[in-house]
A and B are shown apart, each in its own frame.
Chain A
Amino acid sequence: MNLTLVGLSHQATPIAVRERAFVPLPQAAELARELAAEGEAVCLSTCNRTELYLVGDQAERRALDALAAISRLSEDELRGVVYRLTDEAAALHLFRVAAGLDSMVPGEGEILGQVRSAFEAGATGPVLDRLFRQALHGGKKVRAETAIAESPASVSSAAAALAQQVFGQLEGCRVMLVGAGHVAELSARSLAARGAQIAFVANRSPERAEALAARFGGTGVPLEGATERLAEIDVLVSSTGAPGRAFGRAEVESALRGRKGRPLFLIDLAVPRDLDAAIHELDGCFLYDIDDLESVVAASLAGRRREAGRAEAIVAEEADRFRDWQASREVVPAIASLRAWAEEIRAAELARARGRLGLSESQHAAVESVTAQIVNKLLHLPTVRLKEAAAGAEGGSYAQALRHLFGLGDDDKR
């Protein structure tokens, strides 16, 4: 088995090079098919990495040529940024990638889907099929058994996660955006992705309010009318950044009276701040500004890094399992050949003896049984030892030695 990985990633390659090496999924499928003409191939390409996993002869050479062709970089330019890994190291790398341990944000969830897509678009055989299935399994296991992916990793996702902590599922939660800029849109996307309804968009420019509201199926309202809507919403995202407060404590307090105790979650993403900090003191009101959200993200990232140690242990287990499988692929055919060879000799010698000795049916059956037992006993210990060796690194050498000592051909190696 000769698994080869050639790739480049955010760890050592600037974005200017990464974007040149990026391969969209349809082209990645095509490239994999081309490269698999002499074996197996998968192309994994995301905004952070482009990696070619190959099995076959001259894999490194072919992968480098392919990368050079995609990125239109010379081999020398590529040499400084690409990494080349083989066998166990390549497998471990993919398992870490699928677990999100090689990502910019540890444990990010998107990469697992990207690995799956690359696998499905790839031209796989027994080795890459096993490798990618195990990588996907390991990635899921890491997310299920550790808290690496539980906490938010960006300000907008932190805001949405905090809203969920107040309301639970956000389906049916009504959101009002105050301000219709890029920041408001990012937050709206994050909340809408979790099921929240963007009910109102308030902005100084009614056209911009209408345009953003239309994108999320909401209603545009003038900035002056936003206060009246406070009683109808659950989450307020404010990001005008204009001088002067958009809402004071008194306005929110009076809106709370019509809410029958239902909490109100307010996110102030503006600098200078739009919302009066005293709103947070009101019972049932939770106000988070940009600093609060950033400290939530920082704490969450620290938590992810702490969990990374546990994730590494799970990934290492998966890598061990893959190595054992690899080793058994070399040893099992050797054992089968040895047993077939011994059985052939036994059967031939028995047939010769039967004619020479004139054995009856019952005598022949007895001799057959005895010789089979002898062969089994002779081969039992070498078989056990070989299987044990398969679990270690020297399984391949043992298999090779066995073939050499007993003259077993390579042609039956599966």
Chain B
Amino acid sequence: MVELLFWPALFAYGEAAVAYAGDARRPGTAGRLATWGVRVGWLLQTALLIVQAARADGFPWATWAGSLNLFVWLVVSVYLVWGCRTRYRLLGLAVMPLAAVLLVLARLGGGTGDTGHSNYSTVFLVLHVGLLSLAFAAFTLAAGLSALYLWQERRLKGRRPGGLLGRAPSLLTLETLSGRTIAVAVPALTAGIVAGLVRLRRDGGGVDALMAVTLGTWLVYTAYLVLRWEAGWRGRRAAYLALAGFALVIVARVGLQLTHFS
């Protein structure tokens, strides 16, 4: 059953990635095909996760590959909220190839099949993993938006808007969406960290490097929000800060595999 859902989901994401590339070259039908690829792929992956959850004994995405599978689903979910609009198709060009590649990695690590018994079965752990994954997915999208902002700002500064006019979201929209996405993700990250700390206090144990990186990530994104609201940090500086935070997210994701799942 999971096989029947995995391959079509991967195919749909792959089709969306290719179609987004086609749309960037020549807008029109390819863009619509990409949007449908995202929608269909997301539905299939949702079904895959439901089947995994129904068959699992405990939290089904407790391995690094399983968490990657969940992470891909969350990234595509957040993207689906507004990403399928015509003006955000350029962002899809970055998101969907990433989603397809990460899904393949999740598959290679065995995270898309039946999961069996899991040690991550307490409510605290489920909350911890779920909330951190959600926050990291949102930060990934915010990084994509910030990168798109910098790319577009550079073209406008270079006075070479070219084919960009009318096809990409405006600077202000990208900036606002990135800020809102981070504003939603930081509370999720905070709650996830608190859940992890509660468990740590109950079970005993010290703070490891991964936890330090996660706390660093929290600090960067919290600083982003404070500077944005209090000091009016917008535009290029805010985009660079969001990307700096994302660099820590990548470290945390890779570190997760090395420290928690090795």
| Residue in A145, A164, A261, A263 whose CB lies within 8 Å of B233 | A261
Q: Is residue B237 contacting chain A, with contact meaning CB distance below 8 A?
A: yes
7 A-B pairs with least C-beta separation: A261-B234, A260-B232, A168-B170, A261-B232, A150-B166, A168-B173, A145-B28
Kindly specify which of A2-10, A279-287, A328-336, A342-350 makes contact with the partner chain. A279-287
Q: Can you list 20 A-B pairs, Cβ within 8 angstroms, ordered by A? A: A146-B28, A151-B163, A152-B165, A162-B156, A165-B156, A165-B164, A166-B156, A166-B172, A167-B170, A168-B169, A168-B173, A259-B232, A261-B235, A262-B234, A263-B171, A263-B234, A296-B159, A299-B162, A303-B162, A303-B163
Please give, as numbers and ranges, the residues of chain A lying within 8 Å of B180 by CB-CB distance.
Answer: none
Q: Which residues of B contact A162 (CB under 8 A)?
A: 156, 161, 165
Which residue of the partner chain A has the closest CB to B174? Answer: A168
Q: B170 near A151 (CB under 8 angstroms)?
A: no
**In the bound complex, CA of A144 to CA of B28 (Å):** 7
| A residues apposed to B, CB below 8 Å | 144-147, 150-152, 161-162, 164-168, 259-263, 280, 283-284, 286, 288, 292, 295-296, 299-300, 303, 310
Q: Which of A263, A286, A300 has the most CB of B within 10 A?
A: A263
Within the complex, the shortest CB–CB distance from A277 to chain B, in Å, comes to: 11
Given A150-B165, A152-B165, A280 contacting B172 (CB threshold 8 A): no
Query: Is the pair B165, A295 in contact by a Cβ cutoff of 8 Å?
Result: no
Q: Max chain A CB contacts within 10 Å: which of B27, B29, B165, B235?
A: B165
From A161, A280, A286, give the contact of B166 (CB < 8 A).
Answer: A161
Nearest CB in chain A: distance from B230 CB, A: 10
What's the Cα separation between A152 and B164 when bound, in Å?
Answer: 11
- Contact B170 A147, beta carbon cutoff 8 Å: no
Inter-subunit contact B165/A165 (CB<8 Å): yes
Residues of B in contact with A (beta carbons under 8 Å apart): 26-29, 152, 156-157, 159, 161-173, 232-238
CB within 8 A of A288: which of B28, B159, B167?
Answer: B159
Which residues of B have CB within 8 Å of A263?
A: 171-172, 234-235
A105–chain B nearest beta-carbon distance, Å: 15
Distance of A172 Cα from B233 Cα, bound (Å): 22
Which of chain B's residues have a CB closer than 8 A to the CB of A295? 159
| CB neighbours of B162 from chain A (8 A) | 299, 303
Question: Known: A262-B234, A292-B159. Contact between A151 and B172, CB under 8 A?
Answer: no
Nearest-neighbor residue (CB-CB) of A173 within chain B: B172
In chain A, what residue has the closest Cβ to B173?
A168
Sample of 7 more A-B contacts, CB < 8 Å, known A164-B170, A263-B235: A150-B167, A151-B165, A165-B171, A168-B172, A263-B171, A263-B172, A300-B165
- Chain B neighbourhood of A292, CB < 8 A: 159
A296 adjacent to B161 (CB under 8 Å): yes
Inter-chain contact B163/A284, CB cutoff 8 Å: no
The distance in angstroms between the C-alpha atoms of A127 and B157, with both chains bound, is 53
The answer to whether A161 touches B234 (Cβ under 8 A) is no
Smallest beta-carbon distance A296→chain B, Å = 6
C-alpha gap A261/B228 in the complex (Å)? 9
CB distance from A89 to the nearest CB of B (A): 28
| CB contact between A166 and one of B27, B166, B171, B238 (< 8 Å): that residue | B171
Residues of B within 8 A of A144 (CB): 28
Q: Separation in Å of the A185 CB from the closest CB of chain B? A: 23
- Nearest A residue to B166 by beta-carbon distance? A150
**Alpha-carbon distance between A14 and B207 when the two chains are bound, in angstroms:** 83
Contacts of A167 in B (CB 8 A): 170-172
Give the Cβ gap from A158 to chain B, nearest Cβ, in Å. Answer: 8
Contact A283 B161 (CB under 8 A): no
B238 nearest CB neighbor, chain A only: A261
- Min CB–CB distance B49 → chain A (angstroms): 35
Cβ distance B151 to chain A, nearest Cβ, rounded Å: 12
Residues of A within 8 A of B152 (CB): 165
- Check if A286 sits within 8 Å of B234, measured CB to CB: no
User: In the complex, what distance in Å separates the CA atom of A167 from the CA atom of B162?
Assistant: 17
Residues from chain A with Cβ under 8 Å of B232 in the complex = 259-261
**In the complex, A51→B172 CA distance in Å?**
46
Q: Are A286 and B156 in contact (CB under 8 A)?
A: yes
- What are the residues of chain A within 8 A of B234 when measuring CB–CB? 260-263, 284
**Which residue of chain B has its CB nearest to the CB of A168?**
B170
Q: In the complex, A213 Cα to B101 Cα: how many Å? A: 56
A288 and B157 alpha carbons, distance in the complex (Å): 9
CA distance A259 to B28 in the complex (A): 38
Look across to chain B and name the residue whose beta carbon is closest to the beta carbon of A164.
Answer: B170
